[in-house]
């Protein structure tokens, strides 16, 4: 078999582990040939690639980033993109294409699959918001980094007798906020799924001070917003692509909490540090398994599918189903957290 692999979208710890696993399984066990496209779909559209043998993937398992590069180019956004992709797949004699990417990438993969290309997708997002898989690799690393930061911030918040409002990633879903907040014992967690009421939040945090505590940690997902009319909130507007910008909730929330509580409150924005660097052991195992099973699916001719974790098993799920909706934090998980937060 001849297999093409590519990574698309933002950085995510575990990308290299998938690439390595694909090459190991395909080359060593099946005698396949593997090529890697550069910079995501762009490489496929421009026929820019290199051969991937065992040496090419030596030592990359624990390394962050992606040796193939990435971009946000999507074939369907380009005139003739799908046709161009189809042409290159034929020219290169590819029997399977394994795109590794997030929601946008998987939608593109689904389109190409519907156009007849032999696609096996591998889901990737630190946000953990892809439906149809229990977990995505990158999420555990993001939660781990955020939790380590929260652990450190607690002693500082306590020493300085402050409220710290810590903004973590999560534009549409609060998974990172929920898990890191639960892991670090934050005192309130604010997620995009549930617009917050500033009065409730203030009284929750205030109750801690009334009980004699000297600090509080509020974890807020970048996409969280106050309930309509609950407080003044200035959106950061849209970027040049018309996407909503997310910079501001921690700043605005800390100003508001300071004003209402009469306690020093400061924002901390963890930012990109959550999405780069060495993956955790958990993410390396998951990424490796995804790569292995993607190759197996290709050999079984199961195209138009996505690797997914269900319990402890890796299963294949239709791409179409995977991109239907985001996986949001369900109400019961949030209630579950409330008691310990």
Taking CB under 8 A as the binding criterion, the range among 87-95, 174-182, 195-203, 217-225 that sits at the site for its own copies is 174-182
Q: Residue 96 interacts with its own copies (CB under 8 A)?
A: no
188-247 binders of its own copies (CB under 8 A):
214
- Are the beta carbons of 319 and 304 closer than 8 angstroms? yes
Residues whose CB is less than 8 angstroms from the CB of residue 291 and which lie 6 or more positions away in sequence, other chains included: 17, 18, 19, 20, 21, 22, 24, 25, 98, 122
Q: Residue 187 interacts with its own copies (CB under 8 A)?
A: no
Among the options 11, 32, 39, 127, which is catalytic? Answer: 127
Residue (of 185, 114, 193, 112) closest to 155 by Cα position: 185
Write out the H or E segment, with its range, that includes residue 208. helix 198-210
Q: How far apart are CA 55 and CA 89, in angstroms?
A: 24
- 321 in helix, strand or coil? helix
Among 221, 275, 294, 317, binds its own copies (CB under 8 A): 275
Q: How far is the CB of 254 from its own copies (least distance, A)?
A: 12
Q: Residue 143 interacts with its own copies (CB under 8 A)?
A: yes
Q: Confirm whether 32 is a catalytic residue.
A: no
Total number of residues that touch its own copies (CB under 8 A): 70
Taking CB under 8 A as the binding criterion, the range among 88-96, 112-120, 148-156, 220-228 that sits at the site for its own copies is 148-156
- Are the beta carbons of 308 and 314 closer than 8 angstroms? yes
For tokens 């020493």, the residue is: 159
294-323 binders of its own copies (CB under 8 A):
310-312
Residues whose CB is less than 8 angstroms from the CB of residue 327 and which lie 6 or more positions away in sequence, other chains included: 128, 129, 130, 131, 132, 173
Q: Are strands 120-123 and 305-310 parallel, antiparallel or unpaired?
A: parallel
User: Binding string to its own copies for residues 21 to 40, with x set by CB under 8 A, is what?
Assistant: x--xx--xx-----------
47-86 binders of its own copies (CB under 8 A):
61-66, 69-70
Q: Provide the angle, in degrees to the nearest 10, between the axes of the packed helices 81-91 and 103-114.
A: 70
Q: Which residues are catalytic?
A: 127
Give binding residues for ATP as ranges.
10, 72-73, 102-105
Contacts to its own copies by CB under 8 A: 10-11, 20-21, 24-25, 28-29, 61-66, 69-70, 134-135, 140, 143-149, 151-160, 164, 179-180, 182-185, 214, 266, 268-273, 275-278, 280-282, 284-285, 288-289, 292-293, 310-312, 336, 339-340
């Amino acid at each position: 078999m001849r297999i093409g692999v590519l990574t698309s979208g933002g950085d995510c710890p575990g990308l290299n582990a998938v690439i390595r696993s694909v090459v190991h399984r395909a080359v060593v066990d099946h005698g396949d040939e593997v090529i890697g496209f550069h910079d995501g779909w762009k490489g496929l559209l421009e026929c820019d690639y290199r051969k991937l043998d065992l040496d090419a993937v030596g030592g990359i398992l624990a390394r962050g980033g992606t040796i193939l590069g990435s971009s946000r180019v999507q074939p369907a956004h380009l005139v003739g993109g799908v046709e161009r992709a189809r042409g290159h797949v034929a020219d290169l004699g590819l029997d399977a294409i394994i795109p590794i990417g997030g929601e946008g990438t998987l939608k593109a993969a689904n389109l190409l699959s519907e156009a007849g290309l032999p696609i096996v997708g591998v889901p990737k997002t630190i946000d953990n918001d892809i439906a149809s898989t229990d977990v995505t690799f990158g999420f555990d690393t993001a939660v781990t980094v955020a939790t380590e930061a929260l652990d450190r911030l607690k002693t500082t918040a306590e020493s300085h007798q402050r409220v710290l409002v810590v903004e973590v990633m999560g534009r549409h879903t609060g998974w990172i906020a929920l898990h890191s907040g639960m892991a670090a014992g934050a005192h309130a967690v604010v997620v995009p799924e549930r617009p917050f009421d500033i009065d409730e939040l203030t009284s929750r945090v205030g109750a801690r001070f009334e009980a004699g505590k000297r600090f509080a940690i509020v974890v807020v997902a970048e996409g969280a917003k106050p309930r309509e009319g609950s407080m003044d909130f200035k959106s950061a507007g849209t970027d040049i692509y018309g996407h909503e910008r997310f910079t501001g909730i921690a700043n605005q929330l800390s100003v508001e909490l300071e004003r209402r509580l009469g306690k020093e409150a400061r924002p901390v924005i963890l930012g990109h540090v959550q999405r780069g660097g060495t993956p955790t052991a958990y993410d390396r195992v998951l990424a490796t398994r995804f790569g292995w099973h993607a190759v197996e699916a290709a050999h079984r001719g199961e195209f138009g599918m996505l690797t997914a974790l269900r319990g402890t098993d890796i299963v294949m799920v239709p791409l179409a189903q995977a991109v239907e909706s985001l996986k949001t934090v369900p109400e019961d998980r949030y209630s579950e957290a409330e008691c310990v937060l």
